Structure 1
Amino acid sequence: MADLTALLDDLRAESAELDGLVAGLDRAGLATPTPAAGWTIAHQLSHLAWTDRWSLLAVRDAEGFRAAVEREFTSGAEPIEAGAAEGVGEEPAALLGRWRAGRAELTSALREAEAAGLRLPWFGPPMKPATMATARLMETWAHGQDVADALAVEREPTGRLRQVAHLGVRTMGFAFALHGLPVPPPQLPVRVELTAPTGELWAWGPEDAADRVSGPALDFCLLVTQRRHRDDLALRAEGATASAWLPIAQAFAGLPGGGRLPGETG
C-alpha cells in the first residue's frame, strides 16, 4: 500500500475531481437527483462533509467519538440521513465551503495522527491513519460516481482506483460476517487479479489459490462500492468462496445498501 503522503495526495486529487463537477452548480443544480434513492447532489456532498466531521472527531477525541456513536447511533435516529439532509437547500457557496474546509482540516489531522502513532476508533475496528485516508478516498470516489451519473458525466478511471480496490479486497471477511455467513480464514483464500486503467495487473492473494476473481479494476471498484450490479460488470469468479463473495462485496462500513438493479445506474 502507498504511504500516508501518497494516499493524501490521491485523496486531494479525487476530491478536486469531484469539486470540478460541482463547483459551478447553483441551488437547482445541487437539487439534481442522484442514483442513491432520495439523495440529490447536495445530499452527496453534505454526506461527505458529515463523514469528514466524524473522522475529525475520531482523530482528535477518541472518547468523544465513542460517546457520540453510542448517543447518536443507538437512539433509533438516522444520523447518516440527517447528516446528508444538512446540505439540502443550503446555499452552494456554504455547502461547498463546508465540504472543502472539512476535508482540508482532516488531511492535516491525519498527518498529526500518523506522527503520533495513533490508531483511530471507527464504526468498525480501529484503524491506522492511512486506512482512514483510504476509506475517505473510497467514499469520495463512490459518491463522486453518483454525482457523475446524475450529471451524465463519464469519468476517466485513474490509478487511484488501486486504493479503492485494495479496500474492497481487505473487507472480504467483513462482508461475509455482515451477512451472517462463515468467514473465510484470515489469510486471503482468493486470488484477485485486476486490470488497471493503464493495462498493468494489480493482484492480491496467493498465486496458487483455487478461488479467483478477475476483471477490470474499474468494474471491481464499482462492485465493492455497490454502484453497479454484478450482471453489468466484466468480473469473473472461480471457486465457491469467490462466487459467494462477489454478490455481497462491500468496501464501506455499516449495513449493506440496496445496491443497483441490473441495467441501472440508479
Structure 2
Amino acid sequence: MQQAEDFRAESRALAAILEDLPEAEFRRATQFKGWTIDHVLGHLHLFNAAAEAALQGDEAFAAFIAPVLRHMQAGKPILDCQFPWLNGLSGRALFEAWRLGAESCADAFAKADPKQRLKWIGPDMSALSSVTARQMETWAHGQEVFDLLGLERPEQDRIRNIAHLGVATYAWSFRNRGLAVPEPAPYVQLTGPSGAVWDWNAPQDREFVKGSAVEFAQVVTQVRSIADSGLQLSGETAASWMNIAQCFAGPPETPPGKGIRYKTEA
C-alpha cells in the first residue's frame, strides 16, 4: 500500500529536523494552541499506536483505546488524554519512541489489505483511509514544528493524499457545523511540488479552487489561513468552503486568522 510508504516518508521528514535537537528544545511552544514539540510527538505517537492496534482487530483496538476514551468522556482536553499513556515519556526519549512507533505503524499498514475495515474513535474506516489520516496528521502537526524552527519543509508529491482528503471532506466541513451542503462541489485543480496537475470534481467556470496543492493542504488542515494563501477562488461556494474547511475529525475548529500561523525566523 503506497499510502503506508507515504506516511513513513512524512514521519521521516519530521524526524530529520529533530534528530539533533537539544533536550530543552522539545519543551518549546508552537503556534498551535501553545502545544510544545513534546506535545506534538506524544499526540502523534499515541494515535499511531492506536491505528496499529486497530489493524490487529476490534478487541485489540477496544482494549487500547478504552483508557483514552475514559479521559475524553470525563471532559478532558485531547492533549491531557495522552499523558497517562505516555507515563512521563518526554524529550529525546519520546522522540525515539515516536520514531520507532511510526516505523512499526508503517510496516503494519504496508502489509494490510487497503479495504480492511478498522474501528476508530469516530466512524469505522478502511485501512487505506486510516494510514492516509496518519500521514495527514503527521504532516499537519509537523508544520507547526517546521514553523517553530524556522524551516521550510521539502515537499513531495505525496501531498496529493492530503489534498484528496481535503476534497473528500468537502461535505463534512459543512455538516460538522450544522450547515447545508452547497451543491455541486467546486472544481478543484491543484499543482503538486513536481509540477504535476491534479483535479477533482466536474470542471466548471463559476465555482472553483485552483493553485498550489501544498497551500490547499495547509488550508484544509488549518495550519494556514486562506487569507495567507495564494489559492485562486471563484464563486460563493468555493469561498465559503475554504473559510471553514476541516479535513480532520472532531468538533468544528475555527481556522487561524490572517498572519496567525507562519514560519518564524530561524
TM-score (norm 2): 0.87
Moved more, 95-104 or 216-225: 95-104
1:107 Cα deviation after fit = 2.1
| AA at the equivalent of 1:53 | A
Alpha carbons 2:246, 2:253 under 8 Å: kept = no
Number of residues of Structure 1 aligned to a counterpart in Structure 2 = 259
Query: Deviation string for 1:145-169 (max 9, x for gaps)?
Result: 1000010111122111111101111
- Paired residue for 1:233? 229
- Paired residue for 1:77? 76
Unaligned runs of at least 5 residues, structure 1: none
Q: How does 1:180-191 map to 2 (within 5 A)?
A: 180-184=178-182, 189-191=185-187
Moved more, 172-181 or 106-115: 106-115
SS where residue 73 of structure 1 aligns?
Answer: helix
| AA at the equivalent of 1:173 | A
The answer to whether the aligner puts 1:51 opposite 2:47 as a matched pair is: yes
- Paired residue for 2:130? 132
CA distance in 2, matches of 1:77, 1:264: 26
Query: Deviation string for 1:189-217 (max 9, x for gaps)?
Result: 22100121222211011124742111111
CA distance in 1, matches of 2:182, 2:24: 47
1:90 Cα deviation after fit = 4.0
* Cα separation, partners in 2 of 1:84 and 1:167, compared to 1, 3 Å: farther
Alpha carbons 1:42, 1:87 under 8 Å: kept = no
| AA at the equivalent of 2:106 | T
Match of 1:19 among 15, 21, 32: 15
Alpha carbons 1:58, 1:120 under 8 Å: kept = yes
- Paired residue for 1:254? 250
Q: Percent identity?
A: 37
CA distance in 1, matches of 2:21, 2:205: 48
* Cα separation, partners in 2 of 1:111 and 1:199, compared to 1, 3 Å: closer
CA distance in 2, matches of 1:103, 1:84: 18
1:88 Cα deviation after fit = 10
CA distance in 1, matches of 2:145, 2:84: 16
Moved more, 133-142 or 56-65: 56-65
- Paired residue for 1:179? 177
* Cα separation, partners in 2 of 1:31 and 1:71, compared to 1, 3 Å: closer
Query: Deviation string for 1:232-263 (max 9, x for gaps)?
Result: 11112222322211111011111233432211
| AA at the equivalent of 2:104 | E
1:58 Cα deviation after fit = 2.1
SS where residue 139 of structure 1 aligns?
Answer: helix
SS where residue 113 of structure 2 aligns?
Answer: helix
SS where residue 38 of structure 2 aligns?
Answer: helix
Alpha carbons 1:31, 1:40 under 8 Å: kept = yes
